[in-house]
Structures are given as C-alpha cells and as structure tokens.
Amino acid sequence: MRRAHQIQLPFAAWPKEDRNRWNVAFKPGDSFDDCGPAAHLADRTRRDLHYRYGCFLGFLASRFPDLLALEPAERLASSHIAQYVALRRRSCSERTVAGDLRKLRAALRLICPTSDWSWLLAIAKRIEAQAPPRFERHHLVTSDRLYALGIELMDRATAGAVGLTGPTKAQAFDYRDGLIIALLALIPLRRRTLAALRIGKQLVKCGQFWSLDIPAEDTKTRRALDYPVSPELSARIDVYLSKFRRRIPGADRHDGLWASNQACRMDHGSIYDAVCRRTKTAFDFPVNLHRFRHAAATLWSTQDPANVRGVKDLLGQASFQTTEKHYIMSQSRLAGRALAQAVSMLRK
C-alpha cells in the first residue's frame, strides 16, 4: 500500500493556545508541584505525540481552517474525526489509523485534561476490532533459531577470514551483524539501548567475561539494567573487538560497539535495517528488533512456564502485563497441540 505524505503543521504555526498548553504539559521541574503532567515521558514518546497532533492540526488547517481559531477542546467533533479517518485510510491500514487516534487522544488529554475524550478511544477500539487479522510470521521464529543465525554468520565470517591478510570489510560486517543478532537473541534490548552500547561503558569486562551495565538514562523505563554475557558470546565479543571491528573504516575513532561504514557508531535505524536484511535472507521474512523481545517471551513461556514472570526482568519491563499476552498466546498453542495429539490417539 502506497503511503501518502501526512502534512504536519509546524509547532510555530500551531494556534497560540495549543502551543501554550503543550509547553505547560511538558514543563520540566524538580518536584511534583512545578512540573507538567507529561514531564516524565521519554523523548521518543514526546516526539511521537507532537508529530501526531501536528498532523491532525495540519488536516484541520487544510480542511477546516476556521476551527483553529477555537479552543482546542471545542474544535473536535465526530464528523471531523470521520473525515480524518477517511483520509488516513487512503494510505494506511486500519490498525495504523486506530493507532493515530489513540495517540491523538493521548495528546488531547495532556493539553485538555478536563475534557472527556473517551469517545475518541471508543472509535479507535471499534476500528481495531474491525481490522482484518494479521498473520504474525515472526512467531514462527524463536530465540534459539535467531541465536543460531547469529552464530552461523559469525562462523562464516571466521572461516572466510583464514589467511595472512585477515578479514575483509564484508566479513567484518558479517561478523558484526551476527554478533548483534546473537546478542539480541539472548538479551533482547530495545533498539535505542542497543545502539547506545559503548565499549568500556555499557559493555564492560569482568575477568574473562563481558557484561552489560546499562544506566537508567539509556532505557525506556528509566530503570538501570545489568546483564551477564554468556561465556560463548563473551569469547565471540573478544574476537570481534580484536579481529573484525578494526577492519571497519573509522572504527578506531569512536568507542561505539557497533561500528558503521561511515566512521561512526551505527544508529538504531542502521541496526534495524541490517537485522531485517539478515533475517529476511535467512527466513524469507524480516524479523525486526522488537520481534526479538516477542521471541524471547514466547520461548521462555513454552520452555519454563513456572518461571515465566522472569521475562519481565529480562525485557526490562515495569510490569508483567505486557509480557503476559505472549505467555497466554504460547500456552494456548501448547493446549492446541495437546488436543490435536489426544484426538490423533483416539482415532488410532
């Protein structure tokens, strides 16, 4: 489906009242009394809400410019939302449209906290309920298969680098991408946290083994994380740092773990693209970085359901509710397999 560009109204062009209310909502402060209700939100969340609300204002500016003179809470009606939904449906899936409405509601709740926006949530839920089901192919891949892919890429690079000249740049990229995939399979970090890893800072060596010591400012939930790296993967990190990383141009100019071809650290977008490309080649469909977290939750819940609540700590989540949906999904699969086996036994 071709995506049409969504016109975002720049912040400077927002109505003055909207800008004032937005600044109040995100006002930083040192105590609960002098900060805004959204001061605790991560920068990425803030940017997302800012973009979605700016897009809706852009829609109003193009279709109903007179409404921008009204108070924010007075300019929205179900008829306007219906036209906005119709416009978004031309280039987006039903789930994306529903997500847009959810984020629009979240922004409105911040700048118009005394108004009731439950009707907007009801519309979003109705659209989600009517959306066609998606075939989640990533559930066909679990952490063990992803880990095996990472090991395969590293072994291939090592085998090809035998000789006096050392590894080529292409082999260095193979090893780097394999290490990323293998590390994510065991420690499924969020992509911004993964991209922030620095040698000697977040990645530290304790004796013969490496560990990840991630400060709170590098995590979405603002919780410090500490992961030991397995002996096998620690040894492969040693090989990467001593043999392959230095073959990537400009790697000696920075301390980022994931060196790019641009003489700087890989950003999260570059890591995302590299992993999707490698997994698509291996599995015929891409497995993005967030799907590694799904894979870990699914594998744990099927192999060790009694201790499945440990997935919350592995994923660095604040509660078990997010993890629980993967646990329920995998358990339903096990139940389905058990029923199929029982039916097969009776037929015999």
If asked whether residues 59 and 118 sit together in one domain, one would say yes
pLDDT of residue 328: 40
Residue 110 forms part of a structural domain? yes
C-alpha torsion angle, residues 289, 293, 299, 303 (rounded to 10):
150
If asked whether residues 123 and 153 sit together in one domain, one would say no
Q: What is the pLDDT of residues 101-133, one digit of tens each?
A: 999 999 999 999 999 999 999 999 999 888 887
What is the spatial distance between Cα 251 and Cα 260, in angstroms, rounded to a whole number?
A: 8
pLDDT of residue 294: 76
pLDDT of residue 111: 93
If asked whether residues 147 and 279 sit together in one domain, one would say yes
What is the spatial distance between Cα 133 and Cα 114, in angstroms, rounded to a whole number?
A: 35
pLDDT of residue 336: 41
If asked whether residues 157 and 272 sit together in one domain, one would say yes
Residue 316 forms part of a structural domain? no
Cβ(75)–Cβ(67) under 8 Å? yes
pLDDT less than 70: residues of the chain: 1-6, 29-34, 134-140, 163-164, 221, 297-348
Residue 229 forms part of a structural domain? yes
If asked whether residues 167 and 113 sit together in one domain, one would say no
Residue type (1 letter), 66? D
Question: How many domains does the chain divide into?
Answer: 2
At 220, phi and psi to the nearest 5? Answer: -65, -40
Q: How many CB atoms lie within 10 A of CB 18?
A: 21
pLDDT of residue 155: 95
pLDDT of residue 225: 78
pLDDT of residue 274: 95
Residue 4 forms part of a structural domain? no
pLDDT of residue 306: 58
If asked whether residues 263 and 207 sit together in one domain, one would say yes
If asked whether residues 225 and 151 sit together in one domain, one would say yes
Residue 332 forms part of a structural domain? no
pLDDT of residue 284: 87
Give the structural domain span for 117: 11-130
CATH number for the domain spanning 235: value is 1.10.443.10
Residue 165 forms part of a structural domain? yes
Residue type (1 letter), 79? S
What is the spatial distance between Cα 234 and Cα 205, in angstroms, rounded to a whole number?
A: 9
| Residue after which a domain boundary falls, among 82, 109, 130 | 130
pLDDT of residue 59: 93
| Residue after which a domain boundary falls, among 250, 268, 286 | 286
pLDDT of residue 3: 42
Instruction: Name the 3-class secondary structure at 209.
Output: strand
Q: What is the pLDDT of residues 300-309, one digit of tens each?
A: 656 655 555 5
pLDDT of residue 81: 93
